[in-house]
Amino acid sequence: MADTSQPVRRTALLASAVALLALVTACGSESATSSGTPEPSRAAPHSSSADPGRGTATPGDTAPAVGAAPSDTAGSASASARTDGRCHTSELRAAVGRVDPGAGQRNFPVVLTNASERTCTVYGYPGAAFVDASGKQLGPDPERAPGSPLKVTLTPGESAWAGLSFSSPQISGARTATPAALLVTPPDEREPLEVKWTAGEVPVGGNESSVHVTALEAGTGP
C-alpha cells in the first residue's frame, strides 16, 4: 500500500503558510491606516494661538471683527484718550494780562493756557478769588457777568480767556485791599492756580465793590 502521509503533510503546511502570509498582509495594511492622516472626527481644532501641548485654543482668544485692523483700533483708542474731556487744573497755566481801563472800570484778561500734550476743552466761567500773603480770601467771590458760554477746544499751547472787571476804587469809594495773589480755578475743577497779583488795590467791601467775571472764550484777550 502506497504511503500518502508525506504529500498530505506538505499540503497542510502549504495551506498554513498561505494563511499566515494573508494574516501578516492584513495587519500591515491596518498599521498604515492608523499612522496616516487622522480621521475627520478626531482632527485637532485649528488655532494660531493653540497650546502645542494640548492642541486646544487658548481661552479668551477671539477673531477680530470683519474689516477691523487691530493696529487701527488701538490707534483710534489712543487718539480718543488724548483728545477727550475737559482740561484739568494740572494741565493748565494761568496768567493775568495787562489792565485795560475805561469808563471808570478796571478790566483784566485772565488767561488759561493748555500746558499739556493733549487737546482738551474748557467751558463756562472760571472761579476767581483775591487772597493775601497768608492765603486768606479778600472780599467776596466775583459775580458772573451775563453771557452765553461756549465750549473752547484747546490744543497744546492754545489759550482761553475770561474778563475780570471792577469799578476803580478811586471813583467808587469802596473799601480796598492789596492782594498778594489771584486764585484762578478752571471750570468744573476744584484745585486753583495761583497767579501773583501786581495790579494794586482791589475793592473788597462797601459801595460798588462787586467784581465780575465773564465766561471763557478763545484767545488771550480782547
- At residue 155's C-alpha, the angle toward residues 154 and 159, to 5°, is 45
Which pLDDT value is given to residue 103? 82
Give which of 12, 210, 18 is closest to 106, Cα–Cα.
210
Please check the confidence at residue 217 and state whether its pLDDT lies above 70.
yes
Buried b / exposed e across 136-154, counting CB within 10 Å, b at 16+?
Answer: eebbeebeeeeeebeebeb
Q: Radius of gyration (Cα) for the chain, nearest Å?
A: 44
Question: Which pairing describes strands 152-154 and 202-205: parallel, antiparallel, or unpaired?
Answer: unpaired
Domain 89-218 has CATH 2.60.40: yes
Residue 194 has a CB neighbour count (10 Å cut-off) of 13
Going from N- to C-terminal start, the domains of the chain cover 89-218
Please check the confidence at residue 66 and state whether its pLDDT lies above 70.
no
Please check the confidence at residue 212 and state whether its pLDDT lies above 90.
yes
Is residue 169 a contact partner of residue 176, using CB atoms and an 8 Å limit? yes
Tens-place pLDDT, residues 124-174: 999 999 999 999 999 999 999 999 999 999 999 999 999 999 999 888 889
CB proximity list for 178: less than 8 A, separation 6 or greater:
197, 200, 201, 202
SS3 176: strand
Phi first, then psi, for residue 6 (nearest 5°) are -70, -50
Tens-place pLDDT, residues 74-113: 444 444 445 569 999 999 999 999 998 888 899 999 999 9
Tracing cell 480621521 back to the chain, one arrives at: 39
Give which of 87, 179, 161 is closest to 125, Cα–Cα.
161
Please tell me the distance from the alpha carbon of residue 153 to that of residue 137, in angstroms, as a whole number. Answer: 31
CA 15 to mean position of chain CA atoms: 86
pTM of the model: 0.63
Tens-place pLDDT, residues 181-194: 999 999 999 999 99
Cell of 110: 485772565
